[in-house]
Amino acid sequence: MNKVTVLGSLNVDTILRVKRFPKPGETLPLTGKSVAGGGKGANQAIAAARAGADTTFIGKVGQDQAGDFMVKQLTDSGVSAEFVQHSAEADTGSAVIMLDSSSENRILIDGGTNQKVTAADVDLAQAAIKSSDFLVSQFETPQAATLHGFELAHAANRRTILNPAPATKEVAAELLKVTDLIIPNETETETLTGIPVTDEHSMIKAAEACQTFGVANVIITVGSKGAFWMRGQEHGFVPAYKVNAVDTTAAGDTFIGALCSVLAPDLSNLAAAVRFANRASSLAVQKLGAQPSIPMAADILAAERA
């Protein structure tokens, strides 16, 4: 069983369903509304735990009901919340997700306490980081905290995984140098490298550009098409499973969490881990909501055998 520590965000998601997205100045009625746990960090941690990893979370929530709700979402899925701090500095993070009838989404985020995570918070979890196979992080918490965590992981000879999302051009060079595996989607890849992802040739070029930043291993996810991977000089493409998508909100996060649960610490089984992650993601998009849609290991394995 892999040990995974996730440093990241916790958001309460309000999901608004509409037939189509409104035009500027237009008012449209909702076709449905629901509330669920979310945040890229929490989603990835829950996906890792449900896929079988021994998972610990580092993050912050407010001293509010939303914070209690988010901690419960973690612990109910088997994620250790020992290092989730309750802060009076801000409210728990939140997101509003607008979902249309074709399962496309638009997301607005209030970072709240996610933006208050510091290197000192990371230090509290040093033992967990140093005993983990992987430390995973994203860009919904401050990069300075992630950099500190990745440096601690590298000092203990542990692997680091960066999901550079939401996309930003302001990525610290020092952070990339201590990243072992980076997992962007097409938009994030173009923002990071300046190379539009249109075909396998452009994926190779973009992955090679990431390697020049100091990241030896790259996975580029391309939604319903699948995922490209590069490990050193080796590379390949793993097609996605064809399903009827209902909500793609947590697809990428499910992919990353499931990947971490089966990935060998030396990344030697990267292609096989991507296939497993694709299967997990294909199950997640068939249900509504971020965390409610994330599958269990038994469901993923059953789908693999089907």
pLDDT in tens, 150-165: 999 999 999 999 999 9
Residues 113-124: tens digit of each pLDDT: 999 999 999 999
Residues acting as catalytic residues: 253
pLDDT at 170 over 90: yes
268 burial via Cβ count (<10 Å: 0-12, 13-18, 19+): exposed
The pLDDT value recorded for residue 162 is 98
Q: Which residues contact 64 (CB under 8 A, 6 or more apart)?
A: 91, 92
pLDDT at 289 over 90: no
The answer to whether 32 and 17 are in contact (CB under 8 A) is yes
The pLDDT value recorded for residue 202 is 97
Count other Cβ atoms within 10 Å, centred on residue 195: 17
What is the tally of structural domains in the chain? 1
pLDDT at 97 over 80: yes
The pLDDT value recorded for residue 52 is 97
* CATH number for position 253: 3.40.1190.20
The annotation places the binding site for substrate at: 11-13, 39-43, 140, 253
Tell me phi and psi for residue 178, to 5 degrees: -110, 20
The pLDDT value recorded for residue 305 is 82
Give the model's confidence band at 247: pLDDT under 50 very low, under 70 low, under 90 confident, else very high: confident
Q: Which domain, by its residues, includes 200?
A: 3-305
Q: Which residues contact 69 (CB under 8 A, 6 or more apart)?
A: 12, 37, 92
Identify the residue with better confidence: 109 or 211: 211
pLDDT at 175 over 80: yes
Residues 182-229: tens digit of each pLDDT: 999 999 999 999 999 999 999 999 999 999 999 999 999 999 999 999
The pLDDT value recorded for residue 304 is 84
The annotation places the binding site at: 11-13, 39-43, 140, 185, 221-226, 247, 249, 252-253, 278, 284, 287, 289, 293
240-260 mean pLDDT: 92
